[in-house]
Amino acid sequence: MEIYEIVGKYAIKGINQDVGQTPYKGTLELVVNSNNKINAFWTIGADQTQEGVGFLRMIFL
């Protein structure tokens, strides 16, 4: 798998770890930046946004 194969926009859904286990849904967009790192942009609900940076690490056994 190459880093560019995961680029795109994804629908996400999950359950928060709060007492009520509140469900959420939104979108996640993955983009490769100029340093070959992955920029991640989350939008949860209508207005909660978060950003992060990561990398793809492949391990073959």
Average pLDDT across the chain, whole number: 91
59: pLDDT strictly greater than 90: no
52: pLDDT strictly greater than 90: yes
CA torsion through residues 58, 49, 24, 7, sign: negative
pLDDT digits (tens, 9 = 90+) for 23-49: 999 999 999 999 889 999 999 988 899
pLDDT digits (tens, 9 = 90+) for 5-27: 899 999 999 998 888 899 999 99
pTM of the model: 0.78
Instruction: Give the Cα separation of 35 and 53 in Å (integer).
Output: 11
